[in-house]
């Protein structure tokens, strides 16, 4: 008896692109449906270019967006204005996290930090001339 194993890289991605050609050129991730551990089963080369790897937990695979957003806020605001923005970000995120920790004792999902980064940067942009921002 003879057996053969054929490995076709990104086969599920190719099947999905045949079904939905409008997704061509976009980063695609196919994940498992398990409730215990959602993991990346396969990803497109565009997603791999952004750091996503098959086999990683889905939470980790799509991470570092907050770091990229904070870097963009640093570029948009300039050197001295990033400090008040990060202060507002940290205070707002900490207050919301403390409220949710006290209110919902059994939380199993992460708190997205990107809205706090965006809000802190927007607040500094809107109130550039105030005494708080000019510290």
Residue 62: CB atoms within 10 A of its CB come to 17
pLDDT recorded at residue 71:
83
pLDDT recorded at residue 84:
87
pLDDT recorded at residue 62:
58
Nearest by Cα to 66 from 120, 122, 112: 112
| pTM of the entire predicted model | 0.52
Local mean pLDDT, 10-residue blocks, the chain (135 residues): 79 86 86 72 82 75 72 83 87 87 70 86 82 54
- Cα–Cα distance for residue pair 18/127, rounded to 1 Å: 49
Cβ atoms of 62 and 87 closer than 8 Å: no
pLDDT recorded at residue 81:
83
Residue-range domains of the chain with CATH: 11-61 (3.40.1170.60), 65-126 (no CATH)
Give the CA radius of gyration of the chain. Answer: 21
Q: How many residues does the chain have?
A: 135
Q: Report the largest interatomic distance among the alpha carbons of the chain, rounded to a whole angstrom.
A: 81
pLDDT recorded at residue 2:
84
65-77 and 82-103 helices, crossing angle to 10°: 140
- Provide long-range contacts, Cβ within 8 A and 24+ apart, for 7-11: 10/42, 10/43, 10/44, 10/45, 11/42
């Amino acid at each position: 008896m003879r057996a053969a194993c054929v490995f076709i890289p990104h086969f599920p991605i190719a099947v999905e692109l045949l079904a939905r050609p409008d997704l061509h050129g976009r980063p695609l991730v196919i994940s498992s449906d398990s409730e215990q551990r959602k993991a990346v089963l396969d990803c497109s080369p565009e997603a791999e270019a952004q750091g996503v790897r098959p086999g990683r937990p889905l939470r980790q695979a799509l991470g570092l967006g907050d770091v990229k957003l904070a870097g963009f806020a640093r570029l948009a605001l300039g050197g001295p204005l990033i400090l008040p923005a990060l202060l507002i970000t940290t205070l707002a995120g900490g207050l919301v996290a403390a409220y949710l920790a006290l209110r919902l004792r059994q939380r199993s999902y992460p708190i997205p930090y990107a809205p706090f980064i965006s809000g802190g940067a927007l607040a500094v942009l809107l109130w550039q001339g105030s005494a708080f921002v000019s510290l």
